[in-house]
Amino acid sequence: MPIYEFTCEQCGHEFSVLVRRMGDSAACPECHSEHVKRRMSGFAAHGGKTGSGGYAPT
Instruction: Note the residues at the interface with Zn ion (CB under 5 A).
Output: 8, 10-11, 13, 28, 30-31, 33
Based on CB atoms, which residue is closest to Zn ion, 37 or 41?
A: 37
- Minimum gap (Å) between residue 24 Cβ and Zn ion: 17
Tell whether the torsion through CA atoms of 49, 7, 36 and 16 is positive or negative.
positive
Based on CB atoms, which residue is closest to Zn ion, 31 or 40?
A: 31
Q: 12, 9, 14, 51: which is closest to 34 by C-alpha? A: 9
Q: Are 51 and 25 in contact (CB under 8 A)?
A: no
- Minimum gap (Å) between residue 38 Cβ and Zn ion: 14
